[in-house]
Amino acid sequence: MQPKYSTAIAIAGAGPVGMTLAIDAALRGVDVILIEARAAGEPPSAKCNTVAARTMETFRRLGVSEAVRAAGLPDDYPTDTIYCTSITGHELTRIRMPARSERTHPGFHDSHWPTPESMVRVSQLYLEPILYDRVKSLPNITVLNRTSVEAYDQDETGVTLHCKGEGGEAFDIRATYLAGCDGGRSTIRKAMGVSLVGDAEISRTRSSLIRAPGLKALFGDRRPAWMSWVQNPKRSGTVVAIDGEDVWLVHRGVASSEAFEDVPLEESIRDVLGVDADFSWEVLNHEDWIGRRMVAERFRDGRVFIAGDAAHLWVPFAGYGMNAGVADAAHLSWLLCAVVKGWADPAILEAYQAERQPITEQVSHFAMKKVMENIEAMRSGGSIPPALVADTPEGQAIRQFIGQRLFDINVPQMSPEGLNFGYYYEGSPIIAYDGEAPPAYDMGSFTPSTAPGCRLPHFRLDDGTSIYDRLGSDYTLISFGADETALLQAASAAGLPLTLIPATRPTDEVFRHQLLLVRFDEHIVWRGDEPPADAAALASQLQGQAE
């Protein structure tokens, strides 16, 4: 069959991960076809409700961060997380986080974060239309809705996608590369013959998106919360403010002894909210789902790659599932485009799995650990104590004790500074390591470092501009006064795209070297006080040509 379409990069799945990859590649001047089974404008699941700071940095580069920041909750709606016995019940503890109008105020847990872009609490319901508008604004992206990839074949020069369109039409697409961003049930991953490995079931949840205009009033005189974690002897769950007024997402936990259908939809919602039969709502959408901790055995099959939920699934603690997928997408787009545009050797593509798979494995364990810590805090005796909801001195003492434990456990989850800025790449073929080990990090904290593989510590240039806003689209050489001539000449001779930024060295002692070579994604790939003795060899390594 003669292919109906041809392109450099075909992407299966037009969720946030697939659209990020498409936008990034298109902005690099590469043609993309984006294939999505849903109709244009069909709403996604509402499970993802956090856009991480690192994701916002990516969105800033793609030109959508302002729109994302302005979406969803009203300007004055707080992003606090509370732990309570129900929305109308006792509050155990509160992690205060800013409303949009409070973002410049000091004293919040993320006020000091080293970034020009703070995290944003916004539902995927609002995020996807913003990304889709950006997709449609770029002429070198073709979107095929109501279309699925059924199978693929590949050879030495490309991939042939066998697709089914609206009405059952069968047709082929010819692409140089294929990226599977098609979710946890990924057709592309299955066609690759790749399995997910890990913990197949950690939790089960019933999630209902509801319209309940009276729910905000249940907070009474208290500051409303963006997320409310509920634990009581009847039901555990979580309530998330979607629009800050009428629309809410209500998760209810399903015990290991229960089947999904054993948890009555209406009764379980009432148990989490703490309301009686007089309180009413409308169910807009419902989904039963299983929390897992699973990572794909490999992320690549020749010219075919997977990213996002197709490559890794984990319980949504710290809200990092979609965000890790966006990082996958930006990383993969850069590598694919480097080869398509001809400045890198195809061997550079080995860096995708070498870098991204270990990171997703780390994040999955961070999330798993938080699940276990929270279970232990609430159920140290095997079950939630009935006295937790009692208006007695014993109940008050239990709530105070458990509340402090929950606060200490979950500040790192709700303000995951380490998860955003601490991760580093080890064992990458396109990073020139110098023997200094990157500092350890955890979910809530990290130590800035310029060791190769680490994220460039944030600083501002003399004119106040964030250094991240000046980084080139591929590699950037930041010079604090050294002679960078040999590096620039080597890059030019090799055809390596390299942007030069002369800068005043920040006073922070972490900046010990005169030269820093940094990628588009802010990760340092080399450092020194003068160019290396063999600058040409370094340029070759950064192109994926190292021996």
Nearest Cα to 473, choosing from 340, 325, 335, 329? 335
Assigned CATH for 5-72+120-197+293-365 = 3.50.50.60
The DSSP code sequence of 420-465 is HHT----S-TT----SPPPPP--SS------STTSBPPP-B-TTS-
Alpha carbons 503 and 114: distance in angstroms, whole number:
18
pLDDT for the residue numbered 245: 96
| Measured distance CA(176)–CA(534) in Å, rounded | 33
Check if the beta carbon of residue 535 is closer than 8 Å to that of residue 498. Answer: no
- Identity of the residue numbered 495: G
The rounded distance, in Å, linking the Cα atoms of 374 and 380 is 10
Instruction: Check residue 520 and give its pLDDT.
Output: 98
- CA dist., res. 445 & res. 417, Å (int): 5
Give the N- to C-terminal CA distance of the chain in Å, as an integer.
40
Q: What is the pLDDT of residue 319?
A: 63
d(CA 314, CA 309): 9
Is the sign of the CA dihedral 344, 345, 348, 349 positive or negative? positive
Contact 483, 530 (CB under 8 A): yes
Return the domain boundaries, the chain: 5-72+120-197+293-365, 425-542
Q: What are phi and psi of 80, to 5 degrees?
A: -60, 150
At 109 the pLDDT is 94
The pTM score is 0.96
Write down the pLDDT at residue 385.
Answer: 85
Closest Cα partner for 174 from 8, 380, 411, 344? 8
Task: Give the residues across from 241 on adjacent strands.
Answer: 248
Mean pLDDT by 10 residues, the chain (547 residues): 94 98 98 96 86 97 98 97 97 97 93 96 96 98 98 97 94 98 96 92 91 97 97 94 97 91 95 96 94 91 97 74 94 98 98 94 75 73 82 94 94 93 96 96 95 98 98 98 96 98 96 98 98 97 87
Distances (CA, A) of 290 to 43, 377, 427, 441: 21, 22, 33, 28
Report CA 275 to chain centroid distance, whole Å. Answer: 34
Two tokens, residue 134: 């950006």
CA of 29: how far to CAs of 22, 25, 471, in Å? Answer: 11, 7, 18
**Phi, psi (degrees; rounded to nearest 5) at 148:** -130, 150
Give, as one character, the DSSP assignment of residue 185.
T
DSSP-assigned beta bridge partners for residue 143: 34
CATH of 425-542, one of 3.40.50.620, 3.40.30.120, 3.40.430.10, 3.40.605.10: 3.40.30.120
Q: If you search the block for the tokens 């039963």, which residue do you land on? A: 288
Q: Determine how β-strand 81-84 pairs with β-strand 247-254.
A: unpaired
